[in-house]
Structures are given as C-alpha cells and as structure tokens.
Structure 1
C-alpha cells in the first residue's frame, strides 16, 4: 500500500512514528497520525488543519491531555500561584547541569524492530485513507487522504482531540475534500 503514497504522505506516516517514539509509546494510533500531519506546516493537510486553529505544539499538548499526560502550562500556573517561577528554576538548573537536565529520560523499553505498530484504529484509518483516495480516482495517496481516513475512522483519539479543540469533524472533512478535489491550498 505504501508504494501508492505520495512523498508528503509517506513523510507524515514516518513523522507519526517519530511522534509515537517521542512520547514513549510502542503503538502508532490515530493521534500520532494527526501529529504526523501537523509536523509540516507547509503541507496542504496541515494548512487545512491550521485553518481550524491546529498546529503541532497545540496538537501535542492536546494528545498528551487526551491520553492523561501532564499539561506544562497548568503545572507552571499552579507553581506560580505559590511563588515558584518554573522558568527561573529551569534556567538555574540548566545553567548548572546543562541544557535538558530536567527533561524526562526516555522510557526504558527494548526497541522494537520496525518501530511502533499500528493500533486497530490506526490500521482502520489507513484502510480508510486508501478508500478515500480510490473513491476520488486518485493515483497517489496524498496527506489530505490520510486526514480523511482519520476523520472517517471517527472513534480514535485524533477525532476526540479535534472535538476537544472545538473542531467540527464534518466541517474539517468538507474542507479537506475541497482542498483535494479543487487543488485548493487552504490558508
């Protein structure tokens, strides 16, 4: 199936795997595919998403929140309320111990050959990606088709993140289809 993917779509899936590894996940779900699409702001699918107020940093925070991770802004605000300036603490520690001294170490897991494996919903999104492309008579699978696959899967973390960010999945689907069919580069 990947031989039909345009280079940008391949990059998005590769970046999705990198996002999964960055988060310490041994799976590749719809949330990682969404982040893979957001990773290249100049890409047409990322531009459509940007038109709905989404970017990579916000996407990462939303995914971590959806999966039960910490929210750095909320943590910093809580510490500031008791008189602790988190930025000053980080600067002092990094000055003494070096950049990234407070970053969490990567999880101690045995690396899996070939990287993270698709979840059931991730696999389903990929199948729906192929269907979206063939349904439009496209020879190549573009990032917009990947976004349509995520939206049409409908039950994964990606769609939950979109809804929590105030995005109407049906409106996003229409905008994505318009961008693909019309060759429009959404702003």
Structure 2
C-alpha cells in the first residue's frame, strides 16, 4: 500500500508500528498513526497541528492515556492494521487527489484521520478542538 506515500508518511507508518509495540498492542490503529505523525515531528501534518495551537506533548499523552495497554511492550514480527486504519490509509489517496498532489503527505494522513469522526484518533483530536474543517483551512 506504499504506492504514492511520501517518505515521511512511510516513516509515520513505521513509527506507528513501533508505537503500537511500545504500548503493548498487537495491532496498528488510528491512534498509532496519530502517534506516528507526532513522533515523526517534521511533516506538514505536525505543522498544521502546531498552527492550530495544539500542544503536541499533551496530545501524545492524551492518546497514550486513552489506549495504554496493561501489558508491557510486545515484540511481534508482523502486526496488522485495524480495518479503520486501513480505511484511513486508503482515504489518503482521495485527500491527495482533492489537493491535486501526486504524493501523499502527512497532511493528507491527518485529514483522513479526521474525515471519520468515529475513530479514536479523531475523537482525541476533537478534545483539542481539531477537526476536519479546521485542518482543511
């Protein structure tokens, strides 16, 4: 699924996997994708969050507090994406198309996380007054 993903988005996906393992999860969910965006720290997605006044360390803590597993870090080889995370990654293609971009960047990933308000990442971002319309501006 790495088709037109920028190097940054590929890094975010790799970091998301590390975050899932660190939190003791055997899946990669939207929350891990959000943590990956934060941890990557340089993409347009992070710049948008900063411009919206989001304290990234508080956002990271909010995600971790919401999803922290009772078990310690895992070391499994292949951990799957949840259906929601897969859907988010597919939507990034549409977001990139809307902006007439040939490459999918972290801003498109952030927008696709927010497009479906039912996922954990969107709900936590909502606590920080971040929604799809605010990011699109």
Sort the TM-score into its range (normalised by shorter chain).
0.7 to 0.9
Match of 1:148 among 86, 111, 126: 111
Q: What's the CA shift for 1:152?
A: 0.9
Q: Distance in 2 between matches of 1:26 and 1:105?
A: 11
Runs of 4+ in 1 over 4 A off after TM superposition: none
The 1:19–1:55 alpha-carbon spacing in structure 2 relative to 1, beyond 3 Å, is farther
Task: Say yes or no: does 1:169 pair with 2:135.
Answer: no
TM-score (norm 1): 0.65
Structure 1's unaligned 5+ residue stretches are 71-103, 176-187
Partner secondary structure for residue 147 of structure 1: helix
Equivalent position of 1:122 in the other structure:
85
Instruction: Determine which structure has more spread, i.e. the larger CA radius of gyration.
Output: 1
TM-score (norm 2): 0.86
The 1:136–1:170 alpha-carbon spacing in structure 2 relative to 1, beyond 3 Å, is closer
| Structure 1 vs Structure 2 CA RMSD | 2.3
Q: Distance in 1 between matches of 2:24 and 2:50?
A: 26
Superposition map of 1:35-184 within 5 A: 35-67=35-67, 69=68, 106-107=72-73, 111-114=75-78, 116-165=79-128, 167-175=129-137
Partner secondary structure for residue 101 of structure 2: coil
Task: Report the count of equivalent residues.
Answer: 137
Q: Distance in 1 between matches of 2:126 and 2:135?
A: 13
Partner secondary structure for residue 138 of structure 1: coil
